[in-house]
Amino acid sequence: MSIWKYANPAQFMRTTDGLLPWLVGAAAICCTAGVVWGFLTPDDFRQGSTVKIVFLHVPAAMMAINIWVMMLIASLIWIIRRHHVSALAAKAAAPIGAVMTLIALATGAIWGQPMWGTWWEWDPRLTSFLILFLFYVGYIALWSAVEDPDSAADLTGVLCLVGSVFALLSRYAVLFWNQGLHQGASLSVQSGERMSHVYRYPLYLAMLGFFLLFLALLLIRTRTEIRRRRLAALQAREMRA
């Protein structure tokens, strides 16, 4: 038994069917607990109460990047091993990623207004996220524009590959272009203690919550896509019979 058995649509549906309620429940608990706990933390001595938006901002930003990475891996699996579920998972993940990027940008703007005195700054991190959002939009648009599902899966796969390279390239080009205002990573392994424990544990919980939320949404969306394909295939057979 290898991991590839889950690439079989029927097996995938069976497995996720049992998994989904637990996942949705866990995601709801972790998200709520993380954000509420985050809200009950004391005010930061410099940033005041505005710091609390971090419990939405950081997990969303983290997922925005990781979802693209997941789409890249799923696209590679589709291109190399031709597992249909993989292509659909990449398709299902894109809108979630786009929304996560939007949440990160919006919460950043709301936080930035009182802290930096501006809604928007052409800071490398902000700019990179805007670019990432553009890549998500292009990817989603290409999926919806191509009618033949095989071609759509192949074309978006190629776009995801090339897009990944250019998203990374843009990230460093933007760094070169403008050194920014944005603070360094909130959580970092090398830099040691940067954030108090008071904030760190609720943040971990919120991040876990967002990850579970993504997983649950991804499974729901992938299952919907699979059902749509099955319906289309059955209708096509019906028409011909």
Partner 1 sequence: MIALLLRDLRLATRAGGGFGLGVAFFLILSALVPFGVGPDRATLAPVAPGILWVGALLACLLSLDRLFALDHEDGSLDLLATAPLPLEGTVAIKALAHWITTGLPLVLAAPLFGVLLQLPGQAMPWLVVSLAVGTPALSMLGAFGAALTVGLRRGGLLLSLLVLPLYIPTLIFGAEITRRGAEGQATATPLLFLAGITLGVLALIPWAAAAALRVNLR
Partner 2 sequence: MSLLSVHDLAVARGGLRTVEGVTFALEAGQALILRGPNGLGKTTLLRAVAGLQAPVAGRIEMREDTVAYAAHADGLKPALTASENLAFWAQVFGGGGIDRALAAMDLTALAHRPAAALSAGQKRRLGLARLMVTARPIWVLDEPTVSLDTASVGRFAQMLAGHMAQGGAALIATHIDLGLPQARVLDLTPYRARPGTRATRPSGFNEAFA
User: Under the rule (CB under 8 A), what is the footprint of partner 2?
Assistant: 9, 84, 87, 148-150, 153, 226, 229-230, 232-234, 236-237, 240-241
Give CA–CA dist 200/58, Å, rounded. Answer: 11
Asked if 99 is part of the footprint of partner 1 (rule: CB under 8 A), the reply reads no
Q: Which is nearer to partner 1, 135 or 199 (CB)?
A: 135
From the list partner 2, partner 1, none, pick the one residue 163 interacts with, judged by a Cβ distance below 5 to 8 Å according to partner type: partner 1
Find tokens 């249909």 and name the residue.
84
Classify residue 50 by burial, with Cβ atoms within 10 Å: 0-12, 13-18, 19+: middle
Q: Does 187 bind partner 1 (CB under 8 A)?
A: no
Q: How many CB atoms lie within 10 A of CB 4?
A: 11
Give the torsion sign (CA, 18, 19, 24, 25). Answer: positive
> Residue 114 Cβ, how far from partner 1 at the closest point, in Å?
30
DSSP 41: S
Compute the distance between CA of residue 171 and CA of residue 168 in angstroms, rounded to an integer: 5
Neighbours of 209 (CB within 10 A): 22
What burial letters (b/e) apply to 150-164, b meaning 16+ CB within 10 Å?
eebbbebbebbeebb
Shortest Å distance, C-beta 61 to partner 1: 19
Is residue 161 at the binding interface for partner 1, with CB under 8 A as the rule?
yes
If contact means CB under 5 to 8 A according to the sort of partner, which of partner 2, partner 1, none does residue 145 touch?
partner 1
Smallest gap from Cβ 71 to partner 2, in A, equals 18
Output the smallest distance, CB 138 to partner 2, in A: 21
Binds partner 1 by CB under 8 A, chosen from 29, 69, 141, 198: 141
Q: How far is the CB of 16 from partner 1 (least distance, A)?
A: 29
Instruction: Find the shortest distance in angstroms from Cβ 148 to partner 1.
Output: 9
The pair of structure tokens assigned to 101 is: 């990027």
Among candidates 233, 237, 229, 234, which has minimal Cα distance to 89? 229
Interaction between residue 131 and partner 1 (CB under 8 A): yes
What is the torsion angle, in degrees rounded to the nearest 10, for the CA atoms of residue 18, residue 23, residue 29 and residue 32?
-140
Contact pattern for partner 1 over residues 28 through 67, marking x by CB under 8 A: ----------------------------------------
Locate all alpha helices (DSSP H) within the chain, ordered by sequence. 9-40, 54-81, 84-116, 124-145, 149-177, 197-240
137 touches, from partner 1, partner 2, none (C-beta below 5 to 8 Å by class): partner 1
What is the binding site for partner 1 (CB under 8 A)?
131, 134-135, 137-138, 141-142, 145-146, 151, 154-155, 158-159, 161-163, 166, 169-170, 173-174, 176-177
